[in-house]
Amino acid sequence: MTRRVLLSLAIVLALFRGAAAQPKEVVIGVIYPLSGPAALTGLENKVVNEIARDIANGEVDIPLPFYQRLKGMPGLKGAKVRLIFADHQGKPEVGQAEAERLITQEKVHATYGSWHSSVTATVSQVAERYGIPHVNGQSSSPGLTKRGFKWFFRTSPHDEHFTQTMFDFFRDFQKKKGITLKTLGITYEDTLFGADSGKVMRELAKKYNYEVVVDMQYRARATSLQAEVQRLKAANPDVWMPTSYHTDAILFVRHSKELDFNPKMIMAQNAGHLAPDFVTAVGKEAEGTMSRAPFNTDLIDKRPAAKAVAAVYKQRHGKDFYDNPARSFTGMMTLLDAINRAGSTDPEAIRKALVATSIPGDQLVMTWDGIKFDETGQNIHVKGIIIQLQGLKWHTVYPFDVATTDVLYPIPAWKDRK
């Protein structure tokens, strides 16, 4: 009899403790390419996400109100943030499997990732199915926020924003310099990122009356892109607009040199062109390449948060803070802030907190106006800029009022270069 009383007492106590106990930790599943052709980016993102985690856990101090507010996660009475990293290798089906594993077995409270738009699509689908919030900081395919998802949030601009910035630049640049750009050559790799980027470029080209003389989809992991470059050379567009990942970006530049392809203007869709290895490998040959970006290293001085984070990043990773880790950092901080405001690890609470997000621009590392999500989960306060590679460094060239240097145009032909 006594034993039974004691047993039931123990059970009641255990249940009571369980109900009243605050979560001891916040677990977030982070899915990135840690091997394969985009492993470089995955690694950078890992470093910067760990910095974000350390800010939340109070180990790194950023002296701005937004970061101080969530230092030590007061909303959750000091629960520790733990990140579980998973490698999707650049494959959507692996991303999907990893997301399932993280949600069902590791019981993560939220997911984050995944760079490749094609993988973000499947990972966020899994999250949506299980009712787990997913925040994305970098994938730029516009379609990701057009699926009517409740649990998907994207902090960074997508390719409709970016491509619009490109065409705004074309318009303002032609006016400023009094030159005419008529023909465009668009090339894009054949996954979701490239395909959607190509689509938006086509639509905007039509809207603004540019003639698309080359419209070419190609395989990113080709062993040779010579045929592709020969086509571009034959068509000779005024502006070449590549949408590439790392491997193809490098190959294109090399083949352009070999085959004497001399576009007067190159406007890239970020990704592979922004990787630090692109500059190391073909930086000299790629002089004059322009790209859209949400952020650039030379704007770090305009944001105190950027300066602080860049210092930690350089110390931990040895390379300069730039666009991609900056975006990843911003997304992760937004998620951590939402969890802190939610005061709980309950998915619905986090989701509501994300919906209510309102972060002023001056607290970010990005030169955006802020972070506020619309009903599709897209941040509406984003801003894009155009940067150009000059002297092995990326310089902001547009909008003209924040430009740090003049546009180099036309790009000198191979025979005129030293």
Partner 1 sequence: MGCVYALVAAGLSLIFGLMELVNFAHGEFLMLAMYVAFFAWSLGGLDPVIAAPLAAAALGAVGWLTYHGLIRRVLAAPMLAQIFATFGLGVFLRNGAQFAFGVDFLTVQEPWLAGRVSLGGLFIGLPQVGASLAALGAFVGLHLFLSRSETGLALTATAQDRQAASLMGIDTERMFALGWVIGGACVGVAGALLTMFFYIYPDVGGPFALLAYVTVALGGFGNVAGTLFAGVVVGLVEALAGLVIPPAFKYSVVFVLYLVVVLWRPQGLFGRF
Q: Interaction with partner 1 in 174-203: which residues (CB under 8 A)?
A: 190
Fill in the per-residue mask, 134 to 173: x = in contact with partner 1 (CB under 8 A), - = not in contact.
Answer: ----------------------------------------
Q: Interaction with partner 1 in 78-117: which residues (CB under 8 A)?
A: none
φ/ψ bin of 406: left (φ > 0), alpha (ψ from -120 to 50), beta (otherwise): beta
CB closer to partner 1 out of 138 and 256: 256
Q: Is the peptide bond before 124 cis (omega within 30 degrees of 0)?
A: no
The minimum distance between CB 107 and partner 1, in angstroms, equals: 28
Residue of the chain from 25, 39, 212, 235 that contacts partner 1 (CB under 8 A) = 39
CB closer to partner 1 out of 274 and 342: 274
Dihedral of CA atoms 115, 215, 249, 42 in degrees, nearest 10, equals 10
Residue of the chain from 96, 156, 165, 247 that contacts partner 1 (CB under 8 A) = 247
The minimum distance between CB 34 and partner 1, in angstroms, equals: 8
DSSP 116: S
Half-sphere exposure of 300 (CA within 13 A, CB side): 16
Q: Interaction with partner 1 in 255-294: which residues (CB under 8 A)?
A: 255, 258-260, 275, 277-278, 280-282
- Residues 6+ positions from 59 with CB-CB distance below 8 Å: none
The minimum distance between CB 156 and partner 1, in angstroms, equals: 23
Fill in the per-residue mask, 219 to 238: x = in contact with partner 1 (CB under 8 A), - = not in contact.
Answer: x-xxxxxxxx-xx-------
Count CB-CB contacts under 10 A for residue 65.
10
Whether 26 contacts 73, CB under 8 Å: yes
The number of residues that bind partner 1 (CB under 8 A) is: 36
CB closer to partner 1 out of 233 and 351: 233
Q: How far apart are CA 134 and CA 136, in angstroms?
A: 7
Helix, strand or coil for residue 412?
A: coil
CB closer to partner 1 out of 280 and 404: 280
Q: Which residue is it, tokens 């955006």?
A: 368
β-bridge pairing 359-360 and 134-136: unpaired
Residues in the site for partner 1, rule: CB under 8 A?
A: 35-37, 39-40, 43, 190, 216-219, 221-228, 230-231, 246-247, 250-251, 254-255, 258-260, 275, 277-278, 280-282
